[in-house]
Amino acid sequence: MPQKQKTRSWSELKQAGNECFKTGQYGEATDLYSHAIKELEKSSKKSPDDLAILYTNRAAGYLKDGNCGECVKDCNRSLELLPFNIKSLLRRAAAHEAMERYRLAYIDYKTALQIDCNITAAHEGTNRMMKALTEADGPSWREKLPPIPTVPLSVRKKLAPKMTPAAEQNGTRQMDKPAPSDKDIKRGQVLKDEGNMLVKKGEHKKAMEKYSESLKHNPTEVTTYTNRALCHLSLKQYREAVRDCDEALMIDSCNIKALYRKAQAHRELKDTKACVEDLNELLKAEPKNMAALKLLQEVQRK
Per the structure, the complete domain to which residue 55 belongs is given by 8-136
- Per-residue pLDDT at 46 exceeds 80: no
Residue 166 belongs to a domain: no
Residue 130 belongs to a domain: yes
Q: What is the mean pLDDT of residues 167-193?
A: 65
Contact (Cβ atoms closer than 8 angstroms) between residue 52 and residue 78: yes
CATH number assigned to the domain comprising residue 118: 1.25.40.10
pLDDT value of residue 127: 86
Q: What does 228-254 look like in DSSP terms, one character per residue? A: HHHHHHHTT-HHHHHHHHHHHHHH-TT
Residue 302 belongs to a domain: no
Residue 288 belongs to a domain: no
Residue 238 belongs to a domain: no
Q: What total number of domains does the chain contain?
A: 1
Burial (CB < 10 A; 0-12, 13-18, 19+), residue 236, is: exposed
CA distance 70 to 62: 6
Average per-residue pLDDT in the chain? Answer: 86
Residue 122 belongs to a domain: yes
Residue 96 dihedral angles phi and psi, to the nearest 5°: -60, -40
What pLDDT, in 10s, does the model give residues 208-234? 999 999 999 988 888 999 999 999 999
CA distance 211 to 48: 45
pLDDT value of residue 175: 38
pLDDT value of residue 151: 81
Residue 212 belongs to a domain: no
Residue 119 belongs to a domain: yes
pTM: 0.55
What pLDDT, in 10s, does the model give residues 98-149? 999 999 999 999 999 888 877 888 888 888 998 899 888 888 888 888 888 8
Q: What band does 285 get if pLDDT is binned at 50, 70 and 90?
A: confident
Residue 209 dihedral angles phi and psi, to the nearest 5°: -65, -40
CA distance 85 to 92: 11
For 129-147, give the secondary structure using H, E and C: HHHHHHHHHCCCHHHHCCC
